[in-house]
Amino acid sequence: MAKTAIYLNFSGNTEEAFNFYKSVFKTEFSEQPMRMGDIPLQSGMPSLSDSDKKKMMHVALPILGGVEIMGNDSMESMGHKVRIGNNTTINLEPDTKEETERLFRLLSDGATDLAPLKDQFWGALWGCCLDKYGIRWMFNFRKK
């Protein structure tokens, strides 16, 4: 079933923030949190320090009315700096690859900060863009 989530980027305190949100909403993580050290080493990828390996790559928590918040630690060591404007993203998870491609094509028209749709190690077709109105969109079609 298609869903939408709000994706939050943090500067190293994702775990603390999500444990707080977990206590506020009295819910449990919807999937096992992943750490940066869980990422399979890929060609051209810089090695991570022991400290960076412990940071959150992905965490997801249901809050209210079927809405889920997701988050990660944006790594300054990898060139990412969190600031207002890149700290919140709307995550779309359409039901089909075709719908994912259609939405990406339309929302990325005139976009900047573009990460083209590409197969990812977690089993999804993923991409991201900052649309022409300054809104960040993430696309995550999970292959069955």
What CATH number is associated with residue 62? Answer: 3.10.180.10
Structural tokens at position 141: 């079609």
Enclosing domain of residue 11: 3-142
pLDDT at 38 over 80: yes
Rg over CA atoms, the chain: 15
What is the distance, to the nearest Å, from the Cα of residue 97 to the centroid of all Cα atoms in its chain? 18
Q: How far apart are CA 97 and CA 122, in angstroms?
A: 16
pLDDT at 46 over 90: no
50-99 pLDDT, tens per residue?
A: 988 999 999 999 998 899 999 999 877 666 787 777 788 999 999 999 99
For 138, the 3-state DSSP assignment is strand
Specify the number of domains making up the chain.
1
For 129, the 3-state DSSP assignment is strand
Q: Hunting for tokens 């022991």 — which residue is that?
A: 50
101 CB burial (10 A radius; 0-12, 13-18, 19+): middle
The average confidence (pLDDT) of the chain is 89
pLDDT at 125 over 90: yes
